[in-house]
Amino acid sequence: MSEFFRWDPAKLSLQIPEMDDEHKVLIGMMNDLHTLNESSRPVAEQLSALDRLVRYTAKHFADEEVYMERIGFPGLRIHKGVHKQLLDRLGEFLSAARSSQKLPEDLFVFFKMWLSAHICGIDTKYAQHARTLKSA
């Protein structure tokens, strides 16, 4: 079975090991969920994998916010807002999945968008800030 999303250091690494590691865990969880879905595993199994993913995402966002605070990243407030939107959206997917007893069609499209747009477009901003601090 083909991997849904591959960790690509050239595109996704922030050069911040603690955050890169968490992104790898997230990608791993998305891949696992994709595999469960493709192999038509029982829906209860898929729902609990999605639930774990939502909880891990909340942890990752909280860790990232602490990190941004620590380095005095000026874009923290906006970044927090983006996290909140993503978590809300993810929560909607989870309740839709629970009530329809299947994963929503566009869930994986959403994951792809999130991984490439958020990590490459938004998370890189605090990584750039962290680099400026190091070179100062």
Q: Tokens 């250091």 label which residue?
A: 9
20 near Fe ion, judged by CB under 5 A: no
Comparing every residue's Cβ against Fe ion, the nearest one is 123
**How far is the C-alpha of 10 from the C-alpha of 31, rounded, in Å?**
19
| 117 touches 7 (CB < 8 A) | no
Sites for Fe ion among residues 115-134 (CB under 5 A): 123
Q: How many C-beta atoms lie closer than 10 Å to residue 36's C-beta?
A: 19
Least distance (Å) from Fe ion to the CB of residue 27? Answer: 11
- x-marked contacts with Fe ion along 57-76 as a string, rule CB under 5 A: -------x------------
Residues lying near Fe ion in the complex (CB under 5 A): 64, 123
